[in-house]
Amino acid sequence: MKKAPTIRDVAAAAGVSVSVVSRVLNPDSGPVAPAKREQVLSVISDLGYRPRAAARELSAGHALTVGLVVTDLANPFFAQLADRVVWEARSHGVQVVVMTTQEDPHLEAESLDTLLDRSVGGVIATPTGGNIEKWDRLRDLGVNVVFVDRAIAELGDVDVVSIENSDSARRATDHLIALGHERIGLVTGPASTSTGRSRIGGYRAALESASIDIDPILVRDVPFRGDGGGDAVGSLLALPEPPTGLIVANTAQVQSSVRRLVQMGVRIPDDLSVIVFDDNPWTELTSPPLSVIRQPIGMLAVHSLELVLGRMQGRLPAGARTIEVKADFVPRSSCAAPARSATSKSATR
């Protein structure tokens, strides 16, 4: 086990001082004579010298690292988000430390502390909704925070990147209405999240402008964790007047919801038209392939990172920014006109 060379080894071998080597390493930090620069560069490559990140961080006070804090990576949405964030970060020479919260504020708090210890320059997160003070403290200490996919109402001045939640929900609802559906179920995220509320808003707006009465019993906000999606689906279909259309607008509950539909033997789209939020690798492999709202995950990642890095480098004006990107509606084969006598279908179950 060898010892890696340090900047002083390089300086000695090149016959210059460490200052010069450092200036070669950081081109804008001062002048270096062209001849010496070549000299130093050649020694660096001979010795295979690489600057230790820890030393740089210590003296800079912050690391070229961003934390990515999401629920978990088993969820394809977060996995793909992480994939894109890691990819984008690499092209900027930034590393990503991934932490998961399992939607538990305690784990979230612990993650934030850890990231703080590491002096990360920024954090990209889907917040659980708790830890208001902790987020504040983090930002007080100079960590740049960007929320992605969700916002927290109590934290107003934070950068947020999300899709146009209200508009997306509205378009999904409009699509079902256009097919003739009037009873449309909505499974969404917790009403405590901005995302959940916006989607409910879009759903309502669509129904209202079609002059369809809103039946609150058709709207179910379920937590991100657990099997609430499946349960909501079961309960919706067990209603005396079950919905003929269903929108699953809770990314984390899509799988649970669809599994339940399959288990119950619900025929799609004959018994039920279905639209789900967020395109997974498998949504086109089910039968029938599912119509989806596709979140442009790459865009979310790019913008989040852009914001974090922009703030880290201080090249963004003060003031929180909210970026909303348009989501695509991808029609496949899971939607059709409702069966004639919608009400008689309660027997389906």
| Residues binding DNA (CB under 7 A) | 3-4, 6-8, 15-20, 22-23, 25-26, 29-36, 49-52, 55-56, 58-61
Partner from a second copy, DNA, none contacting 273, C-beta within 5 to 8 A by type: none
- For residue 68, give both structure tokens: 């990515």
CB 147, CB 156: distance < 8 Å:
no
Q: Does 282 bind a second copy (CB under 8 A)?
A: yes
Backbone angles phi and psi of 6, in degrees to 5? -110, 175
Q: Which of residues 90 and 178 has its CB atom nearest to a second copy in the complex? A: 90
Partner from a second copy, DNA, none contacting 326, C-beta within 5 to 8 A by type: none
Using DSSP, state whether 264 is helix, strand or coil: coil
Q: Which of residues 112 and 148 has its CB atom nearest to DNA in the complex? A: 112
Q: How far is the CB of 201 from a second copy (least distance, A)?
A: 29
Partner from a second copy, DNA, none contacting 31, C-beta within 5 to 8 A by type: DNA
Selected from 45, 211, 287, 344, the binder of a second copy by CB under 8 A is 287
Q: What angle do CA 224, 187, 244 make, to 5 degrees?
A: 155
CB atoms within 10 A of CB 293: 25
Per-residue three-class SS string for 10-50: HHHHHCCCHHHHHHHHCHHHCCCCHHHHHHHHHHHHHHCCC
Residues 143 to 162: which contact a second copy by CB under 8 A?
none
Q: Which of residues 52 and 90 has its CB atom nearest to DNA in the complex? A: 52
Selected from 50, 156, 340, 347, the binder of a second copy by CB under 8 A is 50
Partner from DNA, a second copy, none contacting 348, C-beta within 5 to 8 A by type: none
Q: Does 292 bind a second copy (CB under 8 A)?
A: no
Selected from 15, 38, 90, 235, the binder of a second copy by CB under 8 A is 90
- For residue 324, give both structure tokens: 């909303």
The distance of Cα 196 from the centroid of its chain, to the nearest Å, equals 14
CB 323, CB 257: distance < 8 Å:
no
Q: Which of residues 133 and 241 has its CB atom nearest to a second copy in the complex? A: 133
Q: Which of residues 86 and 339 has its CB atom nearest to a second copy in the complex? A: 86
Q: Which of residues 118 and 321 has its CB atom nearest to a second copy in the complex? A: 118
CB 219, CB 200: distance < 8 Å:
yes
Please name the helix (run of DSSP H) or strand (run of DSSP E) that holds residue 275, with its range, or none. strand 273-277
What amino acid is encoded at 128 in this protein? T
Q: What is 321-332 written as a DSSP string? A: -EEEEPPEEE--
CA distance 163 to 165: 5
Q: How far is the CB of 305 from DNA (least distance, A)?
A: 22
Residues 193-228: b if buried by 16+ CB within 10 A, e if exposed: bbbbbbbbebbbbbbeeeeeeeeeebbbbbebeebb
Q: How far is the CB of 146 from DNA (least distance, A)?
A: 25
Which of these segments, 77-85, 148-156, 243-251, 321-329, binds a second copy (CB under 8 A)?
77-85
Partner from DNA, a second copy, none contacting 33, C-beta within 5 to 8 A by type: DNA
The residues binding a second copy (CB under 8 A) are 1-2, 4, 50-55, 57-58, 63, 65, 72-74, 76, 79-80, 82-83, 86-87, 90, 95-100, 107, 110-111, 113-114, 116-119, 140-142, 255, 258-259, 262, 280-282, 284-287
